[in-house]
Structure 1
Amino acid sequence: MRAVRGLWRWRGNPLRRTTDLVEAWLALVALVLVLVVAPLIGAAVGAATEGALQRSVREQRHTRHEVVATVVRRLNRSPLDPDPETATARDAHSHVLANWAGPDGTAHHGAVLADLEQPRPGDHFTLWTDSHGHLVARPLDTLTATTHAVLAGFGSAAAAAGLVEGGRRLLVWRMVRRRYARLDRAWEKAGPDWGRTGTGA
């Protein structure tokens, strides 16, 4: 709105300089870019990210399998384990030695993190493995993928808007510097007597 008012104000003003008009047009163009182009960039990036992440979700659902593991024994706490008094629900895992069978029927044995607070030998818990029974991370779910895509879209739109505004400010700063340089040259031409030379004053 300020950009439109600026253009209207300088439209027929006899004191208007070329830089004033350029500055008002820059503000208007920046406003249009921020309100129209930045959201379009955000939507495009969000859609592209959503497509890539949803493909990843489908691929992980086919290649990762949830299997049941059996606790053999609990392992001693590592010094890197979180303090039980300050641990969050996400940290409520125990180091255990466990047995499990992969989707291909192969037997596996090793130290893993179990989502059990007090694991005892014979307790069961679930793990995620690949087709050969090797441990992998839990597959990405659809909601998380969509959330990441939305955040990527908003981030891209904000970054685009910031670049536009930063570019506008940089151009205005350079115009102001040039304006002051021209003003300094004009004062130098006027001389130390402020333009009264030869007037007999």
Structure 2
Amino acid sequence: MWAISGLWRWRRNPLRRATDLAEAWVALGTLLLIAVAAPVVGSLVGTGAQNALQRSVQAQQQSRHAVTATVLHKLDDARPEPDPESGTGDSPRSRVLAEWTAPDGARQHGPVMADLISPRRGDHFSLWTDAHGRVVARPLDSATAATHAVLAGLGAALLTAGLVEAGRRMVVWRMVRRRYARWDQAWDRAGPDWGKAGTGS
């Protein structure tokens, strides 16, 4: 982190300028803000995300039901494809025409994805549906929700640290610009007499 490099300007040095000391104070303020604000923001965002995601987990687990479906036949144009929910691609799925009984007792049928490599008529597989038997995605589990919340908190903390560091760089950039402007003014004043004999006498 570049904020740490600004602290060296506190060392005793006869050539140290007031702006060097100001940059050191800016660097210290940046470090303190990053040390305090980033963890606080990350914790707040992570906690908020955890609460929201766990409520979503409970709602999904109450509204989604695992039912057993029966393969009627494999669809002709279907090729096995990776399961997008597994994330690894190790669990191929096939598109089949299946039937199942909804939690409310209604009989349903239609094309669905089955976690079967070579589905045959009469094969059984699990399917997630809502209360009326409509196919839905697998409900979010608590562990996955907690992982997402932790990642959200870490992301917020890193973003906060980055914004604070960007603010420090902007302040230092403006200080350097003002310093260069003062140097240019000093050179302009000294320029007409520079190198002439008797200058300053």
In the alignment, what sits opposite 2:9? 6
In the alignment, what sits opposite 2:89? 88
Mapped to 2, the partners of 1:80 and 1:127 lie a distance apart of 17
Quote how far apart the aligned CAs of 1:58 are.
Answer: 0.6
Quote how far apart the aligned CAs of 1:117 are.
Answer: 0.6
Mapped to 2, the partners of 1:80 and 1:182 lie a distance apart of 71
1:121 and 2:98 are equivalent in the alignment: no
Residue segments in structure 1 that go unaligned for 5+ positions in a row: none
What value does the CA root-mean-square deviation take over the aligned residues? 2.3
Quote how far apart the aligned CAs of 1:16 are.
Answer: 3.8
Quick one: which amino acid aligns to residue 88 of structure 1? Answer: G
Quick one: which amino acid aligns to residue 89 of structure 1? Answer: D
In the alignment, what sits opposite 1:46? 46
Quote how far apart the aligned CAs of 1:35 are.
Answer: 1.5
Quote how far apart the aligned CAs of 1:32 are.
Answer: 0.8
Deviations 1:43-75 (A, max 9, x none): 111111001000100111110000000000001
In the alignment, what sits opposite 1:60? 60
Mapped to 1, the partners of 2:125 and 2:80 lie a distance apart of 23
Cα pair 2:64 2:136 within 8 Å, conserved? yes
Deviations 1:111-159 (A, max 9, x none): 0000011110000001101111111110000000000001001111011
Cα pair 2:80 2:94 within 8 Å, conserved? no
In the alignment, what sits opposite 1:168? 168
Quote how far apart the aligned CAs of 1:80 are.
Answer: 9.8
In the alignment, what sits opposite 1:151? 151
The aligned length equals 193
Q: Provide the TM-score with structure 2 as the length reference.
A: 0.87
Moved more, 145-154 or 189-198: 189-198
Mapped to 2, the partners of 1:35 and 1:200 lie a distance apart of 52
In the alignment, what sits opposite 1:34? 34
Quick one: which amino acid aligns to residue 155 of structure 1? Answer: G
Mapped to 2, the partners of 1:44 and 1:73 lie a distance apart of 51
Mapped to 1, the partners of 2:135 and 2:14 lie a distance apart of 76
Mapped to 1, the partners of 2:90 and 2:175 lie a distance apart of 57
Distance 1:190 1:197, change over 3 A: farther
Mapped to 2, the partners of 1:110 and 1:69 lie a distance apart of 10
Quote how far apart the aligned CAs of 1:200 are.
Answer: 8.5
Partner SS for 1:131: coil
Mapped to 1, the partners of 2:100 and 2:106 lie a distance apart of 9
Quote how far apart the aligned CAs of 1:3 are.
Answer: 5.0
In the alignment, what sits opposite 1:71? 71
Mapped to 1, the partners of 2:156 and 2:193 lie a distance apart of 56
Distance 1:55 1:187, change over 3 A: same
1:184 and 2:187 are equivalent in the alignment: no
Mapped to 1, the partners of 2:105 and 2:200 lie a distance apart of 110
Mapped to 1, the partners of 2:15 and 2:93 lie a distance apart of 73
Partner SS for 1:110: strand
Q: Which runs of 4+ in 1 moved over 6 A?
A: none
Partner SS for 2:193: coil
Residue segments in structure 2 that go unaligned for 5+ positions in a row: 83-87
Quick one: which amino acid aligns to residue 102 of structure 1? Answer: A
